[in-house]
A and B are shown apart, each in its own frame.
Chain A
Amino acid sequence: MTTTKIAIISQAEQGVLIDISGCNTLAEAKQYLTSTLQVSSQFWDGLTVDLNLGPLALTPEEVAEIMAIVSEVGVKPKQIFAADNKTRASLIASRNVQDQPAAPVEPEAEAEPEATAETDLETKAKAEAVPPMPEPKVETPPASSKAECATPSALVEKLCEAATTTENKEETCEQNKPAKAPAKTPAKATPKTPAKQPERSPVLFLRQTLRSGQAISHKGHLVIVGDVNPGAEIMAEGDITIWGALRGMAHAGVGGNTGAEIRALKFEPIQLRIAHAIARSPDKMKTATAVSPGPETARIVDGKIRISTTIIE
């Protein structure tokens, strides 16, 4: 399968992390952000959102462009993670524009002072052009880990890695049960994390119709209240549950979880994928008499995808 370009990772009480570290270019990042944020515009209301820029190298203007996309749907990232020094300098530059005295000082800020100075004016112009400019803040090391991660860059990189791939996740969070791993990582950084951990894989809950061209990818279970129209793609490492009609493409168990299931009230998918198995809809055009028998579940039986009305096997 393709690598995940954008992932929305819920972090239990910590809100969600938007991870675009899979994107290689700014254009890609912008595109995925635009499409994904649109999908879930109402979803963002009142949520704490963190943003992981991953290895993207961005100038202050480019950072402003990303922020413009994000703020368009009313998302104000609380923490922004970046693995690239240039991007971090840019983030600091745009923060300086916002003139926030409380913001922590980054050692990297001095690393590229000329770049910051050069682009300061332009950034200012951009920032003014986009009034709901969020307050980008480079992640500061939490008090506990300050000693071991003296350089913020090391920490940030670590956080990014943890949020990016499953393998890395298992590495960094090996003490935790693997199923719970995705929820943690950067969330840990904030002090208010309570002791209790989510019992199951994180669940992303969306309340809207997914339309053609919209794609959702989630490292956990996915619940959608609404329809999934043809041309929309939904992918989850866990189960997919749709309280509505599934007419697009659904891929559950991304990464190889053959126990994942897809269930929907109305089952008319173009294509179904569970783990590495693919099933396609019949070629014959649907006739008016072919009424959906009601809610159905797709699961892997003997290596093949089977659809049945049995809710629990």
Chain B
Amino acid sequence: MSGRVIVVTSGKGGVGKTTATANIGVALASTGASVALVDMDIGLRNLDILMGLENRVVYNLVDVVEEKCKLRQALVKDKRLPSLCLLPAAQTRDKSAVNAEQMKKLSDELKTMFDYVLIDSPAGIESGFQNAIAGASEAVVICTPEMSAVRDADRVIGLLEARKEEIGQYRLIINRIRPQMVKSNDMMSVQDVLEILSVKLLGVVPEDDEVIVSTNKGEPLSGGENVRAGQAYRNIAQRLKGEEVPFLDLDSLNATWLSKVVSFFNPTARV
């Protein structure tokens, strides 16, 4: 088996890399694919908390790289999905604990074991980022509709373009968009962002309070029904698998369930 190694990166911090990694991973795994999530944010480990697997971590990525344990020993199995595994980062070390060559070797090993290897990159474009993209063949760039995030995403895309031989394709996820603010011209729209970045869009994730709840609970929301962000991540997972899925109708997201039914039967009704 030769899986796909996909790095999730953004340049800017706090735009939702880890949340996206967890949710896409859960969404992919719930379709039956085997998925490994790799936390590359050494020293600022978070992915295990989002996955609710913090208490099961014994060995970590650095232990694997330093050959203190076998890769299989360090992989933490998800408590809900049997085909989902997490390779946690080390918390008491820093980015210099691994190098690009070791990461490449690790990714190569992982892709023989899993259909998808999702690498959660740290913020920034320094060694941590370079290590994260070292073994990847695809990239997903996360960006929020803010000038600063777009600027950083642009920089990252530039760096990814420079490694065209290794990273075949890179696609964009626009995270935390608020359709109402876009409507009132207070927020950049999907089109505005795409115009600047001119990359292929993988998905748009609306701002959703449920994300905060699920982050604190350690339960990624892709599994849950009726969650807007969860639906968006499920769509993204399907697009990663190569399926054609229409983008969410952001305008209708603000509407309540009832008003959607009303407007379905009576298109002139505006709530």
Contact = CB atoms under 8 A, between A and B. Distances in A.
A11 to B, nearest CB: 25
Nearest to A281: B55
For the side of the interface on A, what is the size category?
20 to 34
Interface stretch (A40-48, A209-217, A292-300): A209-217
A283 B55 contact: yes
Contacts of A285: 216-218
Interface in A270-303: 270-271, 278, 280-281, 283, 285
B45 A231 contact: yes
A232 B45 CA distance: 11
B220 to A, nearest CB: 14
Interface residues of B, number: 21
Interface in B45-60: 45, 52, 54-58
Contacts, number: 39
A89 B217 CA distance: 55
A2 B58 CA distance: 11
Interface of B: 43-45, 52, 54-58, 63, 68, 79, 91-94, 96-97, 216-218
A31 B93 contact: yes
6 contacts: A2-B63, A35-B92, A213-B43, A215-B92, A270-B54, A271-B55
A198 interface: no
A270 B97 contact: no
A280 to B, nearest CB: 4
A27 interface: yes
Question: Could you tell me the dominant secondary structure of chain B's interface residues?
Answer: loop
Contacts of B91: 212-213, 231, 233
B56 A280 contact: yes
List the 7 closest pairs (A to B, CB-CB), nearest first.
A280-B55, A215-B92, A281-B55, A231-B91, A2-B68, A270-B55, A27-B96
Contact of A271 (B43, B57, B92, B96): B57
Contact of B92 (A27, A214, A281, A283): A214
A2 B43 CA distance: 17
A15 interface: no
Contacts of B216: 285
Nearest to A271: B55
A31 B94 CA distance: 8
Interface string A227-252: 00011110000000000000000000
Contacts of B217: 285
A152 B111 CA distance: 52
Nearest to A1: B68
A226 to B, nearest CB: 17
Contacts of B93: 31
Contacts of A212: 91
Most buried by B among A28, A231, A278: A231
Contacts of A271: 55-58
A261 to B, nearest CB: 20
A31 B127 CA distance: 15
B54 A31 contact: no
B96 A31 contact: yes
Contacts of A281: 55
A215 B217 CA distance: 26
B79 A233 contact: no
A3 B96 CA distance: 18
A25 to B, nearest CB: 9
Contacts of A213: 43-44, 91-92
